[in-house]
């Protein structure tokens, strides 16, 4: 069984524990078990992010636009930089000086930090899509060691954060709709990446409100309790 990503980071931690960016948390549920097996060398990410990543207001805006369309009325716009119904927007968060958005920069820096690979070459394109809930990520990853799809599937299956949904012959792969409200993130479409000597392409869909936010915070707290890092306040009084 492939262990949780970095419990040792938590063990040695003092102070506030930050919850990761939602797209990063979802993507890593596929990337981490494959890194453990094959050794990550390079990462190219393209996201398909739901409107709830922008909060309740994002969800309301998509719904309002769709309802206006159904009535033949003009589509209202307030939250997103462009119309989101019937469109995709290649901007999540504000632009930095290097042309990457905040979300894209987070995916690079947080992937490196969480996996303990400070030099890992990563590039991301983050895109908002008219989906209510659950983010998806298309991943192309280059590895140090030779890869195989069978071994990759085995690695993903044995990782607690992921559910393997990967049978192209039966049309089985994860979609955001299938993984809305699910604890685990769906990983599928695993194939040898034709652009790299030792590469894998794959697809991850995961709930941005669960794994991308609240659930992950609970999982961090659970781990801290299990490791004896968090104790009830009245236990302190007894010392």
Catalytic residues: 22, 135
Are the C-beta atoms of residues 34 and 124 closer than 8 Å to each other?
A: no
Are the C-beta atoms of residues 15 and 201 closer than 8 Å to each other?
A: no
* Gap between the Cα atoms of 23 and 204, Å rounded: 10
Interface residue with a copy of itself among 11, 86, 218, 221 (CB under 8 A) is 86
User: To the nearest whole angstrom, how small is the minimum distance from the Cβ of residue 97 to a copy of itself?
Assistant: 9
Interface residue with a copy of itself among 30, 53, 58, 130 (CB under 8 A) is 130
- Stretch near a copy of itself under the rule CB under 8 A, chosen from 1-9, 32-40, 81-89, 208-216: 81-89
Are the C-beta atoms of residues 122 and 112 closer than 8 Å to each other?
A: yes
Interface residue with a copy of itself among 32, 143, 173, 210 (CB under 8 A) is 173
User: To the nearest whole angstrom, how small is the minimum distance from the Cβ of residue 227 to a copy of itself?
Assistant: 34
In angstroms, the first-to-last Cα distance of the chain is: 37
Q: How many helices (H) and strands (E) does the chain have?
A: 7, 6
Q: Which of residues 177-196 bind a copy of itself (CB under 8 A)?
A: 177, 188-196
Q: Which of residues 194-213 bind a copy of itself (CB under 8 A)?
A: 194-196, 199, 201, 203
User: Number of C-alpha atoms within 13 angstroms, CB side, residue 130?
Assistant: 13
User: To the nearest whole angstrom, how small is the minimum distance from the Cβ of residue 45 to a copy of itself?
Assistant: 9
Residue 50 token pair: 């739901």
- Stretch near a copy of itself under the rule CB under 8 A, chosen from 16-24, 25-33, 121-129, 229-237: 121-129
User: To the nearest whole angstrom, how small is the minimum distance from the Cβ of residue 239 to a copy of itself?
Assistant: 48
Rounded to the nearest 10 degrees, the angle between the axes of helix 102-115 and helix 22-38 is: 40
Are the C-beta atoms of residues 66 and 72 closer than 8 Å to each other?
A: no
Q: Is 100 in the site for a copy of itself (CB under 8 A)?
A: yes
Q: Which of residues 20-59 bind a copy of itself (CB under 8 A)?
A: 42-44, 46, 48
């Amino acid at each position: 069984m492939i262990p949780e990503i970095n419990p040792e980071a938590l063990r040695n931690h003092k102070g506030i524990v930050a919850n990761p960016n939602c797209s990063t948390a979802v993507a890593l549920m596929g990337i981490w078990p494959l890194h453990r097996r094959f050794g990550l060398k390079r990462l190219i990410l393209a996201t398909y992010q739901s409107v709830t990543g922008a909060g309740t207001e994002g969800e309301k805006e998509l719904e309002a636009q769709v309802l206006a369309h159904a009535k033949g009325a003009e589509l209202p716009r307030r939250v997103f930089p462009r119309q989101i119904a019937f469109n995709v927007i290649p901007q999540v968060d504000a632009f930095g000086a290097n042309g990457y958005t905040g979300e894209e920069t987070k995916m690079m820096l947080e992937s490196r930090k969480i996996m303990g690979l400070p030099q890992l070459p990563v590039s991301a394109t983050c895109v908002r899509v008219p989906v209510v809930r659950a983010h998806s990520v298309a991943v192309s990853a280059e590895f140090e060691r030779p890869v195989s799809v069978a071994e990759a599937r085995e690695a993903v299956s044995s990782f607690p954060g992921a559910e393997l949904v990967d049978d192209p012959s039966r049309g089985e792969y994860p979609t955001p709709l299938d993984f809305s409200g699910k604890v685990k993130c769906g990983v599928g479409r695993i194939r040898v990446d034709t652009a790299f000597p030792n590469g894998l392409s794959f697809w991850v869909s995961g709930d941005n409100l669960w794994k991308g936010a609240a659930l992950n915070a609970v999982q961090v707290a659970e781990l801290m309790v299990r490791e004896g890092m968090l104790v009830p306040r009245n236990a302190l009084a007894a010392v």
